Chains A and B, each alone.
Chain A
Amino acid sequence: MKKHLQYYFSATLNSYAILFFSQNRILGVLLLVVSFFNFDAGLSGLISVIGSLLLVNTLGFKKEEIKSGLYSFNSLLLGIGFGTFFSFSFAYWLWLAAACLLCVVLSVNLSSFLGKYALPSLSIPFVLTFWMVLIASNGYLGMGLLQKGSSLIFELNTNPPSHFSQLCLFFEHLNIPANLLLFFRSVSAILFQNSVLAGMIISIGFLIHSRIGFSLLVLGFIASCIINQLTGTYPGGISNYYLGANFMMVSCAIGGFFLIPSWRSYLWAIAVIPFTFLVLNGLSRVLLLYNLPVLSMPFCLVTLGLLYFFMLRKQPGKLKLTPFQYYSPETNLYQFLNGEQRLKDFKYFNLSLPFMGAWTVSQGYEGSITHKGDWQHALDFVLKDLDDKTYQLPGIKPEDYYCFNKPVLAVADGQVEEVIAYIDDNAIGQVNLQQNWGNTIVIKHAENLYSKVSHLKKNSIKVKAGDYVKQGDIIAFCGNSGRSPEPHLHFQVQCTPYIGSKTYPYPFAYFTVAGQSGLKTFEVPQEGTTIERPEINSYLKNAFHFQPGYLANITADNGHTETWEVFTDDFNSTYFFCHENQAVAYFVSNANVFYFTRFYGARNSLLYHFYQAAYKINYSAQPLEDFFAADAENFNLLLWLQDALAPFYRFIQNTYTNSIQIKADGLIVQSKGGRLLLGKDKNWFKAELFLGTKGIQGFALQHQNKHLKVTWETSSV
């Protein structure tokens, strides 16, 4: 029951907060309170929200979406609009219910319809529904809907002044610049109000939610006012509703919500203002024929139009659309930047090296010998000895060369596309220019992703066209056929299946470079370097290879216990779920590394501390460095400053490092978190993870002044 109430409570608050593209509770509560400044509107708004939530929940729509307020915020707008526009009566509640139903239906259908194009439905359901109500009630007076005032929709309450309205009045005449008053009034217009006090409260809420978002509101306001000043479009100044519900909202949506905030998105946030002027004025002229207000339609049209326009780009460049919506411009930005840096597993197909042992890149990308023009993104590999020779004396036969007749592996799973196996191996120093590529295998790994190995040994190929191969399978042996004066292995990635296709630059997922510490992830090896597959430490791999159903009982030395279970979600992502406090930590675990991608939930939970301590683990036991995404944990002036500047410049970085100490019967992962502020490293936390043959045994963490020792017991579901 408590869970049930919590769910409705969150969904209700989210329905309010989402008006400002947020899921911030403080903002939600403030908006709820402010909506009751106009009591009728506030009440019908709240009733509409709860009614809609009950409806969609009973009908069994997706809980996650319901909880985010996606299906109910249009009803909220509708309720507030109703309450602002019409007087209470029996018919009022009837038609409100009907309109709410229509609005919910439209919300669900439009979200699904537009969702196919990865577009949001914004407030279109509300606008359409409200138009429908207005048209209907204007034509059929018998419906019984009584309009409140004259043509002025959004006037202030005309009841006799109460204490509250006196307070409001005080703020209306506050001794601050007129533009500032207009700004606050515009902000309040989103809830169909025209109140400085309401605007101020909402502004504070929004600032708490997002510094970037607030700066964009201000930017949109200033840009619109200046343009109006210059053109004189509205001689009496722009109406606060146009400003709030359209211009400022567009700036906010384009500049910081649907695009990753950057100076580019900020430029668009300005550029979009005159564009919106045009759409708004045009639309309002047309709607005037039917005596309809434009409401927030211009905002919806402009935002949707631009979004789709941006989506259709073939090469998006640096102006990025938000790939995953965290309902906060800051989080969107930080997660995006962090993801670019860390989550290359999702960006690239995971290619492993096409050989065993340590091979040297004898010719890299744009190599001076043959890797030129269309074939510049290729790699040649040889084996070298201590004396940098590729052969043992006398070096006159291919067999004298170390790499000759060594196994060649499939770099990833795939289907063999083409095989040539009959070409003779050359004598040393000779090349076969007629059959340039020599014996060759092309493997298809994905659409438009093929790998090719060439100059293989004659008749050494173990696969044929059409065969499926697994990553690491031996497919052939290194040889000296084709344009190859001495045995070597040629490797390239290409987008088309032909022998002779042009090359495509593509990194290897994980490898180590001789003489350099650390694991290389998703890099193209450099010419002259000797590279090798990472050697996996079985303790680490065994301990961190969590499968769905894995269950751990965690006990801290302060008596606090948690139970964690591993689940897989709809998108095949794995995560830890804490049964006690519902915290969730997403992680990735592949053949080479374990790392967390995102944590949701309480910062004092043990799961959060494990997330910190084991943020990333190399199974090959090299020391590593990584970065946490910046996070708005609690109020901190410095962090707020960082947030406001983040689209342009970031001066705080949260670092993570670890090193591994191998013991006789297990090992210890020592990790450290730091905050890098203008080049100065501040200690954040220190942790030690203890591993034995049976997996993780426990961990210790020192976080600020907190010392924590945790024991770990495992069982499977």
Chain B
Amino acid sequence: MKQKYERPTIRKMNTGLMNKFGTRTDFDPVESIDGVAVKDLVEQYGSPVFVLSEKQIRRNYQAALRSFKTRYPKVQFAWSYKTNYLNAVCKVFHQEGSWAEVVSGFEYHKALGNGVAGHQIIFNGPDKKEADLILAIENHSLIHIDHFDELYLLIQLTERINKTAKVAIRVNFDTGVYPIWDRFGFNYENGQAWTAINKIAKANKMELVGLHCHIGTFMLSTAAYAVAAAKLCQLALKCKNELQNPLQYLDLGGGFPSTNTLKGAYLPGVDTVPSVEDFAEAITNTILEAGFATNELPLLILESGRVLIDDAGYLIGSVLANKRLSDGRRATIFDFGINILFTSNWYDHKISVAKESGQYTEETVLFGPLCMNIDVIRESIMLPLLERGDQVVVHKVGAYNMTQWMQFINMRPAVVLIDQQVKSHLIRKPENLDYLEMMEVVPDYLKT
């Protein structure tokens, strides 16, 4: 076989101290995803293309469920729609038994459209429209109240339509981590939460069924969850003892990190991030010891998103050009940038080449295709020598990218799901001009 041409490279000799982790750089090629060749995927769906592994989604879900269910008798997951609300993805989670957690009217309708029963939809967030609230009340969905104005609105609505709403309040507290997410929900320490609970208890048409918290995102401390669970349990026991209103569930929200490496982190995420097992242990031990009678233990709801899907998502892209910057650094331009890889703002994504390459690597800056200065994927990465047209695979991109991506300069690419039988399915078509202009209206006087 003819060997691949590799351009010459010059590297500075480094004679100082050895890197404490050795000289190893991770550039094992990723030639296939879940058994489907990268080359074939690009051929079939173009480049760039998002690829999701159904098997990995299910594996993640089942592992997380196992971590909790083997430690606590009643556990329910609710899929966080905002993390990835492609219908195919949601349906995989619902098939596994997950409820839906939505934070807006359109997500609520999406959940209904995906066949989720009304009483298995959790309605979160600070922005719930009146019509959506009425629909949620009528469907017996679980409405998690975020602020007093929403509480007052709900009281009015329930009186007006003469139906009982099943509600919980979102509680925020100091769990010892910074920042405190006190902009969502009612504060625990200053008594706001208890006030809200009392207002609900006094309302005629409100049934307080649970408590909710969501202490942060990409949380790296399990202790914070133990604190949150303990405070939530105290509040729940107070509801039972003082208001004779035993609660059906505690919703600990999400926020579990994936194994991506945060920007600026010293050590890679795979080595430092606590596992779901660790979070499960912290949370369940706290609830089990909080003082509930064995047969009155509340249902534990979790709204994990990121940890269940991040590592099931891949982004395949291609090299557009190689460059040398004015300061001598190498730069590589890809056909994907922060327009579709939003999370490159947060993480130092792991990027692998898609075919076997030589042993030499060089340090390079990775740019996206936008004509915007901010379009940087990695500030610095060691990669084998790439040529125009070579493919790379970006790892752990399943969470948030397919919801926060934007159509700017370039259009959004296709999304492909590889099923458990190693077959790929197009689950979102690449966008085109028609799609882009679908919602546009040109006034008549400009038409000619």
- A, B from the same assembly: yes
The number of residues on chain A lying at the interface, defined by a beta carbon within 8 Å of a beta carbon of chain B, is 24
Q: Is residue A357 contacting chain B, with contact meaning CB distance below 8 A?
A: yes
Residue of B nearest to A471 (CB): B294
Give per-residue flags for A358-398: 1 if the beta carbon is below 8 A from chain B beta carbons, else 0.
11000000000000000000000001011100001000000
- B62 to chain A: which residues have CB within 8 Å? 385-386
Q: Is residue A214 contacting chain B, with contact meaning CB distance below 8 A?
A: no
Query: In the complex where A385-B62, A386-B59, A665-B140 touch, is A358 in contact with B294 (Cβ < 8 A)?
Result: no
Q: Are A402 and B66 in contact (CB under 8 A)?
A: yes
Q: Are B70 and A662 in contact (CB under 8 A)?
A: no
Q: Is residue A355 contacting chain B, with contact meaning CB distance below 8 A?
A: yes
Q: Is residue A682 contacting chain B, with contact meaning CB distance below 8 A?
A: no
Q: Is residue A474 contacting chain B, with contact meaning CB distance below 8 A?
A: yes
Which of B66, B118, B119, B294 makes the CB contact (< 8 A) with A357?
B66
Q: Are B72 and A356 in contact (CB under 8 A)?
A: yes
Q: What's the nearest-Cβ distance from chain B to residue A315, in Å?
A: 38
Residue of B nearest to A404 (CB): B277
- B70 to chain A: which residues have CB within 8 Å? 355-357, 359, 383, 402-403, 406-407
- B119 to chain A: which residues have CB within 8 Å? 664-665
Q: Is residue A472 contacting chain B, with contact meaning CB distance below 8 A?
A: yes
Residue from B55, B69, B72, B288 whose CB has the most chain A CB atoms within 10 Å: B69
Query: In the complex where A385-B63, A402-B66, A472-B294 touch, is A664 in contact with B248 (Cβ < 8 A)?
Result: no
Chain B interface extent, by class? 20 to 34
Q: Is residue A470 contacting chain B, with contact meaning CB distance below 8 A?
A: yes
Q: Is residue B117 contacting chain A, with contact meaning CB distance below 8 A?
A: yes
Q: What's the nearest-Cβ distance from chain B to residue A491, in Å?
A: 15
Give per-residue flags for B61-93: 1 if the beta carbon is below 8 A from chain A beta carbons, else 0.
011001001111110000000000000000000
Q: Are B294 and A470 in contact (CB under 8 A)?
A: yes
Q: Are B71 and A385 in contact (CB under 8 A)?
A: no
Which of B59, B72, B118, B294 makes the CB contact (< 8 A) with A385?
B59
Q: Is residue B139 contacting chain A, with contact meaning CB distance below 8 A?
A: yes
- A406 to chain B: which residues have CB within 8 Å? 70-71
Q: What's the nearest-Cβ distance from chain B to residue A203, in Å?
A: 57
- B58 to chain A: which residues have CB within 8 Å? 386
Q: Are A538 and B248 in contact (CB under 8 A)?
A: yes
Report Cα–Cα, A533/B59, bound state, in Å: 21
Q: Which chain A residues in 152-202 approach chain B with CB under 8 Å?
A: none
- A470 to chain B: which residues have CB within 8 Å? 294
Residue of B nearest to A399 (CB): B277
Q: What's the nearest-Cβ distance from chain B to residue A345, in Å?
A: 19
- A472 to chain B: which residues have CB within 8 Å? 73, 294
Q: Are B66 and A386 in contact (CB under 8 A)?
A: no
Query: In the complex where A356-B71, A356-B73 touch, is A664 in contact with B140 (Cβ < 8 A)?
Result: yes
Q: What's the nearest-Cβ distance from chain B to residue A532, in Å?
A: 8
- B294 to chain A: which residues have CB within 8 Å? 470, 472-473
Report Cα–Cα, A472/B248, bound state, in Å: 20
Q: What's the nearest-Cβ distance from chain B to residue A667, in Å?
A: 11
Report Cα–Cα, A535/B73, bound state, in Å: 9
- A474 to chain B: which residues have CB within 8 Å? 288
- A383 to chain B: which residues have CB within 8 Å? 66, 70
Q: Are A662 and B117 in contact (CB under 8 A)?
A: yes
- A402 to chain B: which residues have CB within 8 Å? 66, 70
Report Cα–Cα, A664/B66, bound state, in Å: 27
- B66 to chain A: which residues have CB within 8 Å? 357-358, 383, 385, 402
Q: A357-B66, A359-B70 are in contact. List 7 more A-B contacts (CB 8 A).
A: A356-B73, A357-B69, A402-B66, A403-B70, A533-B73, A538-B248, A664-B117
Q: Which A residues are closer than 8 A to B by beta carbons?
A: 355-359, 383, 385-387, 392, 402-403, 406-407, 470, 472-474, 533, 535, 538, 662, 664-665
A-B contact pairs, 10 of them (CB 8 A): A355-B70, A356-B71, A357-B70, A358-B69, A383-B66, A386-B58, A386-B62, A402-B66, A533-B73, A664-B139
